Chain A
Amino acid sequence: MTKRLSKADRSRPTRWVGRLLTLGPGGLYLTLFLAVPLAVIVTYSFMRRGTFGGVVYQPTLENYRRAVDPLFLRILWDSVRIGGLTTLLALLIGYPAAFAITKLPTRWRLPALVAIVLPFWSNFLIRTYAWIVLLNREGILSKALRAVGLTDEPVGFLYNRGSVVVGLLYAYLPLMILPLYAALDRIDPALDEASADLGAKPWRTFIRVTVPLSLPGMTAGSIFVFVPSIGNFVVPELLGGGQAVMVGNLIRDQFLRARDWPFGAVLSLSIVGLMMILLVVQAVQLKRTRAHA
């Protein structure tokens, strides 16, 4: 008995060292890049603004009161709508793409996935500028329409909500396709056969088996697209031309132009809050499907 106890005692420090070593790097990362910045932002949100940026350490709730201003809420709502539309389109385009990749012969799947993430290897700004070349009044699309005689005038497609959605969709579509592919690929092919065997035509199998079992991938992909979409400020700036202001732009402006850091902090926290809600929804769903597997 005594012997056993002492043995457990001896192993305790080693266990702690082991845990610290394995948790250490991740924990350090989370502390440095998540907990500390978040704490700073939360603190700023309760302070008064400094005249030339920064904060004056006088606690106040003023910033939160300003955030429920209808003007800001409208911009937030607009961002949610643009992000939502982007997410919906990404789902509609990404689902068939991911589904098609799972049906490819095994040796073609990796090349197809690489092709999907290939644009990520070029600079985000340059990729977004490329859309200006495509969509502006003297751009390729406009010229093509004139060439086939659909219009006589140059047509510009830029500087509206539509062009922002196109830009965001283009930027984040791979983030939809990859988790969808992962979810679809995990579905046991025997389930498709079992469904067919029980009398279901392919489209019925798709609705009754494939879609429900790929739900976690749909949620993950939607979050991966939605969250960066509503926070993005480069695309609205370049392709929205100031016509479509999103929360991202607003936050950037508060910090860099209006020099109102505390208000910028409150706006940032509003997105963080939105994100948290989505992640909780996803975690609950993932837990439910994990149980299946």
Chain B
Amino acid sequence: MPELVHIAKVTKRFGDVTAVDAVDLTIEENEFFALLGPSGCGKTTLLRILAGFEDPDEGQVLLGGRDLVGVRPYDRPVNMMFQSYALFPHLTVWQNIAYGLVEERLPKREIEQRVGEVIAKVGLEGLESRKPHQISGGQKQRVALARAIVKRPRVLLLDEPLAALDKKIRADMQLELKRLQHEVGITFVVVTHDQEEAMSMADRVAVMNQGRILQVADPITLYERPADYFVAQFIGEMNFIAGEVRDGRFFSPELEGVPAPDADAGPVWLALRPEKIVLRESPGATPVELEGRVETTTFFGSLTHCYVRLPGREEPVVVTAPGPRTFQPGATVWMTWRPEDAVLLPR
């Protein structure tokens, strides 16, 4: 897919705080892109730089090859859905949605037609003449969305679009946002601190921390091949074993020489997803094996979580197995995995 947005070496400081730190990013045409990171990591600032509300201290922002730095927000073919929705309280739902088209000085008939279409698309029929204080949170969110997509922007920026919604509506809206993005064919850039949300909606996810982009990848790669300790622990559950790579093998107090053919020598974390670990009740003849004692098991119906304590280690290792599995607390078990399922991360 052709590249639409190109962010090059963008830095933004507020006093001593570097909110966005030398960020490089490309976003492709028609992509559902997510910016994922903990609160305060600079996601909103990066989005505001794209919208034109903040000028970067350094770097370049290109949209379709055109340099956007210095272009005012009202001249950018970019729209934003604000975290607080920022609906105009004195205008009706219809007037809120038509607001941006009126600014484009479109003919009245075209405005009516386009607003009508969008209202149908997001399911706001019948609420056209309500004021924002007369509709629910979920409906406000739809108005904010409709108001932005009716402008047919090149890029739609969404700042925590689902954060203010109830958990139940949120799941529905995740699907709906995804469907809508397909339908309207607009590039979506969604900011979120919720990793499940990012993983379930986005084509690609950029993980941010402290103003930096740590990894940009599709959700599966991000889950299976995290490139960084922060990414690995931020997304899903992960077990970490501290150790060292020497001569193509991983060594730790618990493990003697797990094959790690591609790893560079030096101190590393061995990162293992709970579902990649196989539990056995007797030792196998393999160096990829840890002996431990079962602390607790929790049965979740489709899955069982097993917490296994290793000697000389604070945190239990988490193992998940499909279906019901029971171990007596205190039972000795052996854990093994395929060496290629483990990820080695610089420590």
Determine the main DSSP class of A at the interface with B. Answer: helix
Which residue of the partner chain B has the closest CB to A215?
Answer: B90
The answer, among A193, A200, A213, for a CB contact under 8 Å with B90, is: A213
- Give the chain A neighbours of B151 by CB distance below 8 A: 198-199
Q: Does chain A have a CB within 8 A of B347?
A: no
Give CA–CA (A194, B88) in the complex, Å.
9
Distance between A151 CB and nearest chain B CB, rounded to angstroms: 48
Distance between B159 CB and nearest chain A CB, rounded to angstroms: 10
Q: Does chain A have a CB within 8 A of B132?
A: yes
Give CA–CA (A201, B74) in the complex, Å.
6
Give CA–CA (A293, B90) in the complex, Å.
10
Interface contact A193-B89, CB-CB below 8 Å: no
Which residue of the partner chain B has the closest CB to A213?
Answer: B90
Distance between B89 CB and nearest chain A CB, rounded to angstroms: 4
- Give the chain A neighbours of B327 by CB distance below 8 A: none
- Give the chain A neighbours of B175 by CB distance below 8 A: none
Residues of chain B from 131 to 147 with CB closer than 8 A to chain A in the complex: 131-133, 147
Distance between A193 CB and nearest chain B CB, rounded to angstroms: 6
Give CA–CA (A150, B100) in the complex, Å.
51
Q: Does chain A have a CB within 8 A of B79?
A: yes
Instruction: Give the number of A-B contacts (CB < 8 Å).
Output: 67
Q: Does chain A have a CB within 8 A of B166?
A: no
Interface contact A213-B89, CB-CB below 8 Å: yes
Which residue of the partner chain B has the closest CB to A205?
Answer: B74
Q: Does chain B have a CB within 8 A of A254?
A: no
Interface contact A197-B99, CB-CB below 8 Å: no
Interface contact A196-B82, CB-CB below 8 Å: no
- Give the chain A neighbours of B53 by CB distance below 8 A: 193, 196-197
Q: Does chain B have a CB within 8 A of A242?
A: no
Interface contact A188-B103, CB-CB below 8 Å: no
Size of the B side of the interface (Cβ < 8 Å), in residues, is 26
Q: Does chain B have a CB within 8 A of A3?
A: no
> Chain B CB within 10 Å — which of A188, A194, A201 has the most?
A194
The answer, among B78, B86, B131, for a CB contact under 8 Å with A194, is: B86
Which residue of the partner chain A has the closest CB to B83?
Answer: A190
Interface contact A196-B73, CB-CB below 8 Å: yes
Interface contact B103-A293, CB-CB below 8 Å: no
Size of the A side of the interface (Cβ < 8 Å), in residues, is 21
Interface contact A196-B132, CB-CB below 8 Å: no
* A186-208 interface code vs B (CB 8 A; 1 in, 0 out): 00101101111111110010001
Residues A292 and B132 in contact in the complex (CB < 8 Å), given A195-B99, A196-B72, A199-B104: yes
- Give the chain B neighbours of A199 by CB distance below 8 A: 74, 100, 103-104, 151
Interface contact A292-B79, CB-CB below 8 Å: no
Q: Does chain A have a CB within 8 A of B84?
A: yes
> Chain B CB within 10 Å — which of A188, A196, A213 has the most?
A196
* A73-109 interface code vs B (CB 8 A; 1 in, 0 out): 0000000000000000000000000000000000000
- Give the chain B neighbours of A204 by CB distance below 8 A: 103
Q: Does chain A have a CB within 8 A of B51?
A: yes
Known contacts A198-B74, A200-B99, then 15 further A-B pairs from the complex at CB < 8 Å, ordered by chain A residue: A188-B84, A188-B86, A191-B86, A193-B53, A193-B82, A197-B79, A198-B103, A198-B147, A198-B151, A199-B104, A200-B103, A208-B99, A213-B89, A291-B133, A292-B89
27 cross-chain CB contacts under 8 A:
A188-B84, A188-B86, A190-B82, A190-B84, A190-B86, A191-B86, A191-B88, A193-B86, A194-B82, A194-B87, A196-B52, A196-B74, A197-B51, A197-B53, A197-B73, A197-B78, A198-B79, A198-B148, A199-B100, A199-B103, A200-B99, A200-B100, A200-B103, A208-B88, A213-B90, A291-B133, A292-B133
